[in-house]
């Protein structure tokens, strides 16, 4: 696919009809001031308000506006994935639709990708306008993400990011993995990841669409992305190593029991009455189960190529 624009702005949204006209005007102002060729791809994630109608009106005014409408709400990751597939810009910028991300950051993000040759640049909302019940868990997640992934970013979940087009075409975002796109990019071979302090605006319209479930899903997704990144192509290395270690421990106990029974034990105690027997048996059974899990994971990983399917109800100027 040929790249037609300097910048693709990908904006996932869910029921943000009030903010879309102002956001569009702001983006257009920045693009014209910097002489960028651009497209704005809105992905309506099954909104319940008039968001799609607003997108259609914006397209009628500006042919650079593109749109994708999901049949139902699939989540931010699904919206980003479809936006990435549609993007035709050399640099892909993602931002939220609630006006909390400033389009004024776009020129510098573009420069960092094109001139400094970063694969990905993540925004860092150093000064936030979120309530404390959101900022404290965010700091904990970011600390854990830095330790587990080895990527030194302060704000993994910032919606304002810039990518080389090749990056977004090389990763698959699903579930709730939008929080951890930098690790996905790193594991795909794009390790030159930068960071930029960006302005954070107070929410002007509506309320946040994320509930308390993110506090549970975030850590689980972090473990998933770390495991997938390290072992998705070689699950036997993980499960097989654990299984082999446990089997060796169990087998070692079995040898010890045999030697002790034949050469040392004079009490006549049955092997099945000793706790070491049950430790040996349990360890060997668990070891075999882990080994088989790794073997099955290898078979599944080598035969599975199915991608997630999202039903699109409507689209505007998107191939």
Q: Which of 215, 232, 249 is the C-terminal boundary of a domain? A: 232
CA 62 from chain centre, in angstroms, equals: 31
**Is the pLDDT assigned to residue 136 strictly greater than 90?**
no
Query: Helix or strand or coil: residue 269?
Result: coil
Contact 94, 11 (CB under 8 A): yes
Residue 273's domain comprises: 235-303
Q: Are residues 13 and 145 in the same domain?
A: yes
Q: Are residues 124 and 264 in the same domain?
A: no
Q: Which residues contact 63 (CB under 8 A, 6 or more apart)?
A: 317
By residue count, the chain amounts to 319
**Is the pLDDT assigned to residue 211 strictly greater than 70?**
no
Any domain includes 129: yes
Q: Are residues 216 and 243 in the same domain?
A: no
Q: Are residues 167 and 244 in the same domain?
A: no
**Helices 235-259 and 275-303, axial angle in degrees (round to 10):** 160
- The model's pLDDT over 262-313, given as tens digits with 9 standing for 90+, comes to 777 767 778 878 888 899 999 999 999 988 888 887 777 666 555 566 778 7
pLDDT at res. 157: 84
Could you tell me where the DSSP H helices lie in the chain?
Answer: 20-33, 51-61, 76-86, 106-114, 132-149, 165-168, 181-187, 214-231, 235-259, 275-303
Q: Are residues 131 and 278 in the same domain?
A: no
Cα–Cα distance measured from residue 65 to residue 50, given in angstroms and rounded to the nearest whole number: 17
* Most confident among 7-11, 97-101, 155-159, 215-219 (mean pLDDT): 7-11
Mean pLDDT to the nearest integer, 96-124: 95
Q: Return the minimum-mean-pLDDT range out of 17-31, 127-141, 157-171, 240-254.
A: 127-141
CATH number for position 64: 3.90.550.10
Any domain includes 165: yes
Q: Are residues 32 and 136 in the same domain?
A: yes
Determine how many CB atoms are found less than 10 A away from the CB of residue 95. 27
Determine how many CB atoms are found less than 10 A away from the CB of residue 194. 16
Q: Are residues 108 and 256 in the same domain?
A: no
- The model's pLDDT over 87-101, given as tens digits with 9 standing for 90+, comes to 999 999 999 999 989
Any domain includes 312: no
Which of the two residues, 227 and 302, has the higher pLDDT score?
227
Any domain includes 319: no
Cα–Cα distance measured from residue 312 to residue 67, given in angstroms and rounded to the nearest whole number: 11
CA 103 from chain centre, in angstroms, equals: 22
Q: Are residues 147 and 56 in the same domain?
A: yes
Query: Helix or strand or coil: residue 164?
Result: strand
Q: Are residues 125 and 195 in the same domain?
A: yes
Q: Are residues 91 and 142 in the same domain?
A: yes
Any domain includes 316: no
Under the banding of pLDDT at 50, 70 and 90, the label for residue 215 is: low
Q: Are residues 191 and 109 in the same domain?
A: yes
Structural tokens at position 61: 């005014």
Q: Are residues 242 and 189 in the same domain?
A: no
Any domain includes 317: no
How far is residue 162 from each of residues 8, 105, 123, measured CA to CA in Å? 10, 10, 8
Q: Which of 217, 232, 247 is the C-terminal boundary of a domain? A: 232
Any domain includes 140: yes
How far is residue 129 from each of residues 104, 132, 135, measured CA to CA in Å? 18, 9, 9
Contact 145, 222 (CB under 8 A): yes
Query: Helix or strand or coil: residue 221?
Result: helix
Domain count, the chain: 2
Any domain includes 202: yes
When the pLDDT of each residue in the chain is averaged and rounded to a whole number, the result is 86
Query: Helix or strand or coil: residue 250?
Result: helix
Mean pLDDT to the nearest integer, 40-58: 95
How much of the chain, in percent, has pLDDT values that exceed 90? 50
């Amino acid at each position: 696919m040929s790249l037609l624009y300097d910048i693709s702005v990908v904006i996932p949204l869910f029921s943000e009809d009030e903010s879309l006209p102002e956001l569009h005007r702001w983006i257009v102002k920045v693009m014209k001031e910097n002489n960028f060729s651009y497209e704005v791809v809105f992905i309506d994630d099954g909104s319940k308000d008039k968001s799609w109608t607003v997108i259609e009106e914006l397209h009628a005014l500006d042919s650079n506006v593109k749109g994708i409408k999901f049949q139902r709400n699939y989540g931010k990751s699904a919206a980003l994935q479809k936006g990435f597939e549609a993007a035709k810009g050399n640099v892909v910028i993602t931002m939220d639709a609630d006006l909390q991300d400033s389009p004024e950051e776009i020129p510098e993000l573009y420069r960092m990708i094109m001139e400094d040759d970063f694969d990905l640049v993540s925004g860092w909302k150093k000064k936030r306008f979120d309530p404390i019940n959101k900022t404290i868990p965010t700091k904990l997640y970011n600390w854990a993400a830095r330790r587990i992934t080895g990527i030194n970013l302060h704000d993994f979940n910032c919606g304002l990011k810039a990518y080389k087009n090749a990056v977004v075409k090389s990763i698959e975002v699903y579930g709730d993995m939008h929080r951890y796109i930098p690790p996905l990019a790193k594991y795909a071979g794009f390790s030159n990841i930068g960071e930029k302090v960006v302005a954070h605006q107070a929410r002007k319209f509506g309320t946040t669409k994320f509930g308390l479930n993110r506090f549970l899903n975030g850590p689980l997704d972090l473990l998933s992305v770390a495991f997938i990144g390290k072992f998705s192509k070689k699950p036997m290395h993980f499960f097989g190593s654990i299984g082999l270690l446990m089997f060796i421990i169990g087998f070692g106990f079995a040898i010890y029991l045999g030697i002790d029974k034949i050469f040392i034990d004079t009490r006549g105690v049955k092997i099945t009455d000793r706790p070491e027997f049950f430790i040996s048996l349990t360890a060997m059974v668990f070891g075999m189960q882990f080994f088989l899990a790794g073997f099955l994971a290898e078979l599944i990983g080598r035969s599975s190529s199915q991608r997630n399917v999202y039903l699109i109800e409507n689209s505007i100027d998107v191939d």
